[in-house]
């Protein structure tokens, strides 16, 4: 390892899926959860645990949304994921038989079976009590910094400030309950920001959050306090981050990597390599792990060289050691990009050897990477870096529906005394309806029908529960829920057993 520090690098991973349990299976229901769990969460956690066992600290900053944590702890999800892992082994065995005439595909089937067995063994030992005990051990050992977020990943700029405060505080409460630590930072859903939100963060005890690089006009070499607050924002360095994944390019699209979109539906596995952007699925070449491994080594080196070059340029420009923050969805690594976990390991091992300090967001502040205060514009990490994905023309009806839902939710009169099951369920349904995922999926035309159906379902359930409470300002078409419906709604849509509707009306 070199003696001189080139600067500081922070890897931030944002782990999030909407509530999927009990809401369909294929292709965007529970199957989405189980694929991400098997191919991203298991291997990424395994990597961090191995580095921690080697004595590494502050390996990365891990964002886990409360709604995802709830699924990874949920008894139903744990049971059905275990069954899914067994089915994965059976599918891999079947593939080995069907593909025995092609050496590459036969070996792929065998490798898939071994991966399925390893995943099941990890799940049955390390994960048998859910994710929270694992996460707590990684936080306790300082292997990672945990950052949280609002309950169900709502797009905060479009929330009434009272509801924004409730969702954030309840989300932080949930993380503290599961892990024993209250996160000091959050990944703001979709990196969505509206001027003044830092004051709400300060009131909730949030000390740092993520924005996209353009929000800082590309000046991401240091963290910045926002406005007149002490709350700090970190910006994604897009010059570095986009080497891996951008709206148009990135490593996962290389011809030798495993193709995400091409399925052998008879066994439910992905047998092909990317081959070429214009190559039709039937014409794609079989996946060759050896070719992919050769490419991966080049991409690890390319990324490390990119980080070092960037840090040297920033040092020359600013006259001091600088910071690079690369931030991605965790699900990119393994689920979307098969080789992603191996790439992560290569980079996290190679960067220190190249003289780069690898640490967390908190570690970057400890290292002195804090610049001058900044005024942030309204922004996000979505298309255009504004709010168009979540409040654009394609989702105007959803925005209107969500605004009405918020008004009806906040109009529920305060309750006194003991908690109220109906009100708690009503708040849960409203929060699920307000997930940012639904508008994103509609705008991007990714399972848009499913997204619209989910948003409508949760809104209707809220209204039926509110009608049961005797509220008059409800759509006339909503029939009050019955006791049977209460049990059904609670079984399907109760990720947060501690949620207390009374907190909606607690002054903050």
Tokens 């080196």 -> residue: 301
Whole-number Å distance between alpha carbons of 60 and 12: 6
Q: Convert 251-273 to b/e letters by CB count within 10 Å (16 or more is b).
A: bbbbbbbbbeebebeebbbbbbb
Among residues 198, 329, 339, 424, which one is catalytic?
329
Indicate if the alpha-carbon torsion angle 308, 309, 312, 314 is positive or negative. Answer: negative
Whole-number Å distance between alpha carbons of 455 and 435: 8
353 is catalytic: no
Are 233 and 254 within 8 A, CB to CB? no
The whole-angstrom distance between residue 481's C-alpha and the CA centroid of its chain comes to 33
Are 137 and 146 within 8 A, CB to CB? no
Whole-number Å distance between alpha carbons of 471 and 270: 51
Cα–Cα distance list, 181 to 42, 59, 184 (Å)? 22, 18, 9
Encode 210-249 in three state secondary structure: EECHHHHCCCCCCEEEECCCCCEEEECCHHHHHHHCCCCC
Cα diameter, the chain: 71
500 is catalytic: no
Among residues 190, 212, 321, 345, which one is catalytic?
190
CB neighbourhood size of 413 (10 A): 10
- The residues annotated with a catalytic role in the active site are 190, 329
């Amino acid at each position: 390892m070199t003696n001189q520090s080139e600067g500081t690098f922070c890897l931030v991973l944002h782990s999030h899926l909407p509530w999927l349990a009990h809401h369909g299976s294929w292709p965007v229901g529970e199957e989405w959860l189980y694929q991400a769990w098997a191919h991203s969460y298991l291997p990424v956690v395994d990597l961090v645990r191995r580095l921690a066992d080697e004595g590494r600290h502050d390996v990365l900053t891990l964002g886990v949304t409360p709604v995802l944590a709830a699924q990874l702890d949920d008894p139903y999800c744990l049971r059905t994921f275990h069954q899914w892992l067994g089915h994965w082994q059976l599918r891999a065995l079947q593939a080995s038989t069907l593909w025995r005439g092609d050496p590459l595909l036969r070996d792929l089937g065998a490798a898939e079976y071994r991966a399925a067995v390893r995943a099941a063994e990890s799940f049955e030992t390390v994960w048998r009590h859910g994710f929270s005990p694992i996460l707590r051990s990684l936080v306790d050992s300082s292997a990672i910094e945990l950052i949280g977020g609002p309950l169900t990943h709502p797009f905060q700029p479009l929330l009434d400030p009272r509801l924004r405060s409730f969702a954030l505080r309840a989300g932080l409460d949930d993380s503290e309950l599961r892990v024993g630590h209250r996160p000091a930072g959050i990944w703001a859903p979709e990196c969505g920001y509206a001027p003044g939100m830092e004051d709400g963060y300060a009131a909730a005890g949030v000390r740092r959050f993520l924005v996209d690089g353009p929000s800082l006009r590309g000046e991401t070499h240091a963290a910045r306090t926002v406005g007149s607050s002490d709350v700090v924002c970190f910006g994604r360095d897009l010059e570095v981050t986009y080497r891996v994944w951008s709206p148009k390019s990135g490593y996962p699209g290389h011809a030798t990597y495993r193709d995400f979109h091409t399925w052998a539906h008879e066994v439910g596995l992905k047998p092909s390599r990317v081959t070429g952007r214009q190559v039709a699925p039937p014409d794609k070449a079989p996946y060759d792990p050896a070719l992919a491994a050769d490419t991966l080594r080049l991409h690890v080196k390319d990324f490390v060289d990119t980080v070092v070059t960037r840090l040297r340029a920033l040092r020359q420009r600013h006259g001091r050691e600088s910071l690079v923050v690369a931030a991605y969805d965790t699900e990119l690594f393994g689920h979307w990009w098969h080789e992603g976990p191996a790439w992560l390991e290569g980079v996290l091992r190679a960067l220190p050897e190249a003289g780069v300090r690898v640490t967390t967001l908190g570690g970057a502040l400890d290292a002195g990477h804090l610049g001058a205060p900044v005024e942030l514009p309204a922004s996000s990490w979505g298309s255009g870096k504004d709010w168009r994905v979540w409040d654009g023309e394609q989702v105007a009806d959803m925005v209107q529906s969500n605004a009405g839902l918020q008004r009806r939710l906040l109009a529920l009169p305060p309750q006194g005394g003991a908690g109220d099951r109906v009100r708690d369920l009503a708040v849960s349904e409203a929060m699920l309806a307000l997930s940012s995922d639904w508008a994103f999926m509609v705008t991007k035309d990714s399972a848009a029908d499913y997204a619209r159906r989910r948003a409508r379902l949760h809104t209707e359930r809220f209204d039926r529960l509110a009608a049961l409470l005797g509220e008059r300002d409800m759509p006339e078409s909503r029939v009050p829920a019955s006791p049977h419906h209460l049990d059904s709604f609670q079984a399907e849509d109760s990720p947060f057993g501690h949620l207390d509707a009374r907190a909606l009306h607690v002054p903050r």
